[in-house]
Chain A
Amino acid sequence: MTTASPSAPMDVLLVEDSPGDVRLTREAFSETNGHVRLHVAYDGVEAMTFLRQEGEHEHAPRPDLILLDLNLPRMDGREVLALIKEEDALKTIPTVILTTSEAEADILKSYELRANSYLSKPVQLVAFNDLVQSINDFWSKARLPQRAQK
């Protein structure tokens, strides 16, 4: 076990199909003054390719945090979450659901699939920025297991 350096950049995988949201998230992180490297997968299939470092993502880093939307083309966020939490190599990666859905069923299902937390996207820009700030603050401070050796 080693302590992650506070100055070490944090690799975050954002799984999100809306370019508008991607940009908003990127903007929000850029205002946090943190060292975040934001990677984007535009659907569930691409997210799994990235995480498994397959194909074009052969050299992709293992993310320190996954921000996962639920409604995605091809393979939706629930399936992605289930796969992540089933794979030994991936299941320790903190996975945060970041979605517009406020449905009780989605919240319950996500935690049953061992999501690390569930966040609804605020409607107001200020609130959204605050939320991203919180994510950055929290997960940059949280202690995580040492990266599994390849």
Chain B
Amino acid sequence: MTTTAAGRDPALGHEDMYPMLLDSIQEHAVVLLDVSGRVLMWNAGAERLKGYTADEIVGRDFACFFPPDDVARGRPAEVLRLAAEQGRHEVTGMRVRKDGSRFLARLTFTALRGPDGSLRGFSEFSHDLNESKEAGARYRGLLEAAPDAMVVVDGSGEIVMLNLQAEKQFGYHRDELVGQPVTNIIPAGFSERLVTDALRTPADALTQEIGTGLELVGCRKSGVEFPIEIMLSPLASAEEILVTAAIRDISVRKASESQLAQTEAKYRGLLEAAPDAIVAVGEQGEILLLNAQAERQFGYRREELVGQQITQIVPEGFAERLAADGLRSPADALAQRIGTGIELTGRRKDNSEFPIEIMLSPLESDEGVVVTAAIRDISVRKAAEANLLVKLGELQRSNEELGQFAYIASHDLQEPLRMVSSYTQLLSKRYSGRLDADADEFIAFAVDGANRMQRLIQDLLSVSRVATKGRELEPTASDDALGDAMRNLQAAIDESGAVVTHDPLPPVLADRAQLTQLFQNLVGNAIKYQAGGTPTVHVSATGDELEGWTFSVQDNGLGIAPEYFERIFGMFQRLHKRDEFEGTGIGLAICKKIAERHGGSISVESVKGAGSTFRFTMTAVGGAS
């Protein structure tokens, strides 16, 4: 131990006071080391800071104060070498207490040399930075003032210091973390980052703004993990590597981000799942986005279209519509229902064109009005429509041909039939009674058959004439038509003594000749199908100019069983034997044809034995306008 010359004289006899002096220094550990670093002397401050008594530590290597990593790196020898070379070496670093706990210390090593300059040993002054009244307090104050959790980590990845926020965030007490590996609270990613950050200058680190930090996972004492963002900055003053980490809990931000991402994903999903191609177009007609259907429909990849003009895929009509739609409110646009869109032509990448229907809806956005267009390929529908038109034409033609066929067939059948009929009649006339009884009967059957066939053909012609020879429907006084029918039936009326009455009848839209025939057939039937009493027939009409008119022809005749209500309007349907009532069963079929040609219908209501009421409907004169 050396003393200054100046201090020797007054201090003479006080040498025993030196240890007392040293022991009085409580804040600092003062340790005397020999050249190899063995502890020679140990003051009370050292005992307090490091936990060893002088008896326990004197004679041991001071390397036991270093964390094992430092020892492994040869740090203790390094420190002594630097102190020997430079006379004095200051360092901030972790120190290990007797109980294994650590603390951040400020250390000053000084080489002690004899008068000859030979190295005699080293002194080590150290104090706990956490307790430091000066630098430590300042440092701690800064840490505590930070809004984020702050953790100071040394080069070996051990936690040196932390602030209150860090304690709260990770749920540990300070003592539980200091000296522990940072992986306890940040299991992965920190160390790797530490290495790269060690290579950065503090200036670089400072330019790394908050918000661009590294996102990692923090782990609480409870084991619960939570997302964190950390910003690292190396401590400029530290000779040993110390890194300050600002740690921010980003649970809330992450949650909202993922919610946003989910919402976006949902909309994107909706967009992609839409059955139609959807293209969003900006005010200048540029394509902003499109879905997969649009890619498929037009044969482009997404990136080929975004930013291009909509005219590339919809050459005409869209821009004009865009202008018009820009003037509409979103509510108006919404009111435009699917199916009422405009039909335009789309153009694929290969320049082929196809019919489309588009529905536009403007959307106010930050970038101005964005128009969303739902574009439907209506090729199939168009083809179906065209096909339907063709089929309709074919149907009309076939219907006309059928009508023509019926007419021509029945007309042309008449010619040969006239020969058969005429010559059998001639036979009958010339040779009746001149051959034998059989011949007379045979001839009679032939004549009868030919006559009936002529009637049938005449009836067929009458039916087909309803359609082929019908005249334009025009306002017709229906009581005039009934009058005509009565005149035609005069013989039958007179013969049967029938009483035919009628209410005032309205004018209707009709082919007068056909309306006459309709009345004539119905009234004629009413007179004809009687049990033998006096036929009474009443014709009336109900309805109005708006709904049209329903005519009734009511009789007191035989009546019809309900099971025949439908059948009697069929062609050649008869309910009576030929010898009871004449007729081919065509009259009501003609009535039905006429009613239908006039846009109406015909039906019957009847009780067997108590008369029938036939009803048919006609369009009112005002109904057509």
With A123-B454, A125-B429 as given contacts, are A100 and B422 in contact (CB-CB < 8 Å)?
no
Residue of B nearest to A20 (CB): B419
Residues 110-141 of A contacting B (Cβ, < 8 Å)? 121, 123-126, 128
Interchain nearest-CB distance for B183 vs A (Å): 110
Interchain nearest-CB distance for B245 vs A (Å): 109
Residue of B nearest to A103 (CB): B411
Interface centre among B418, B419, B425 (most CB of A within 10 A): B418
Evaluate contact between A123 and B426: CB separation under 8 angstroms.
no
In the assembly, what is the distance between CA of A27 and CA of B425, in Å?
Answer: 13
Residue of B nearest to A27 (CB): B426
Evaluate contact between A125 and B414: CB separation under 8 angstroms.
no
Residues of chain A with a CB closer than 8 A to B418's CB? 100, 121, 123
Residue of A nearest to B469 (CB): A104
In the assembly, what is the distance between CA of A126 and CA of B426, in Å?
Answer: 9
Evaluate contact between A125 and B419: CB separation under 8 angstroms.
no
Asked if A24 is at the interface of the complex by the 8 Å CB criterion, the answer is yes
Decide if the interface of chain B is mainly helix, strand, loop or mixed.
Answer: helix
Residue of B nearest to A23 (CB): B423
Residue of A nearest to B457 (CB): A123
Evaluate contact between B414 and A24: CB separation under 8 angstroms.
no
Evaluate contact between A20 and B425: CB separation under 8 angstroms.
no
Interface size class of A (residues with CB under 8 A): 10 to 19
Residues of chain A with a CB closer than 8 A to B422's CB? 20, 24, 124-125, 128
Asked if B303 is at the interface of the complex by the 8 Å CB criterion, the answer is no
Evaluate contact between B419 and A100: CB separation under 8 angstroms.
no
Residues of chain B with a CB closer than 8 A to A24's CB? 422-423, 426
Per-residue contact bits, chain B 123-150, to A (CB 8 Å; 1 contact, 0 not) = 0000000000000000000000000000
Evaluate contact between B454 and A20: CB separation under 8 angstroms.
no
Residues of chain B with a CB closer than 8 A to A126's CB? 425
Interface size class of B (residues with CB under 8 A): 10 to 19
Asked if B69 is at the interface of the complex by the 8 Å CB criterion, the answer is no
Task: From A18, A21, A100, A125, give the contact of B426 (CB < 8 A).
Answer: A125
Evaluate contact between B415 and A100: CB separation under 8 angstroms.
yes
Interface centre among B414, B415, B454 (most CB of A within 10 A): B415
Evaluate contact between B421 and A20: CB separation under 8 angstroms.
no
Residue of A nearest to B455 (CB): A123
In the assembly, what is the distance between CA of A21 and CA of B425, in Å?
Answer: 14
Residues of chain B with a CB closer than 8 A to A123's CB? 414, 417-418, 421, 454
Residues 405-462 of B contacting A (Cβ, < 8 Å)? 414-415, 417-419, 421-423, 425-426, 429, 454
Interchain nearest-CB distance for B76 vs A (Å): 133
Interchain nearest-CB distance for A132 vs B (Å): 12
Residues of chain A with a CB closer than 8 A to B454's CB? 123
In the assembly, what is the distance between CA of A12 and CA of B421, in Å?
Answer: 25
Per-residue contact bits, chain A 12-30, to B (CB 8 Å; 1 contact, 0 not) = 0000001011001001000
Residues of chain A with a CB closer than 8 A to B425's CB? 124-126
Evaluate contact between B421 and A125: CB separation under 8 angstroms.
yes
Residues of chain B with a CB closer than 8 A to A20's CB? 419, 422-423
Task: From A18, A21, A27, A100, give the contact of B414 (CB < 8 A).
Answer: A100
In the assembly, what is the distance between CA of A124 and CA of B425, in Å?
Answer: 8
Interchain nearest-CB distance for A121 vs B (Å): 7
In the assembly, what is the distance between CA of A21 and CA of B419, in Å?
Answer: 8
In the assembly, what is the distance between CA of A125 and CA of B415, in Å?
Answer: 13
Residue of B nearest to A104 (CB): B469
In the assembly, what is the distance between CA of A123 and CA of B422, in Å?
Answer: 8
Residues of chain B with a CB closer than 8 A to A21's CB? 419
In the assembly, what is the distance between CA of A18 and CA of B423, in Å?
Answer: 14
In the assembly, what is the distance between CA of A101 and CA of B116, in Å?
Answer: 159
Residue of A nearest to B451 (CB): A124
In the assembly, what is the distance between CA of A21 and CA of B426, in Å?
Answer: 13
Interchain nearest-CB distance for B8 vs A (Å): 159
In the assembly, what is the distance between CA of A123 and CA of B451, in Å?
Answer: 9
The interface of chain A, by Cβ under 8 A from chain B, is: 18, 20-21, 24, 27, 100, 121, 123-126, 128
- Listed by A's residue number, 28 A-B pairs whose Cβ atoms lie within 8 Å are A18-B415, A18-B419, A20-B419, A20-B422, A20-B423, A21-B419, A24-B422, A24-B423, A24-B426, A27-B426, A100-B414, A100-B415, A100-B418, A121-B418, A123-B414, A123-B418, A123-B421, A123-B454, A124-B421, A124-B422, A124-B425, A125-B421, A125-B422, A125-B425, A125-B426, A125-B429, A126-B425, A128-B422
The 6 closest A-B pairs by CB, nearest first: A125-B425, A20-B419, A125-B422, A123-B418, A123-B454, A24-B422
Starting from the known contacts A100-B418, A123-B454, 5 additional A-B residue pairs (CB-CB under 8 Å) come to A18-B419, A20-B419, A20-B423, A124-B425, A126-B425
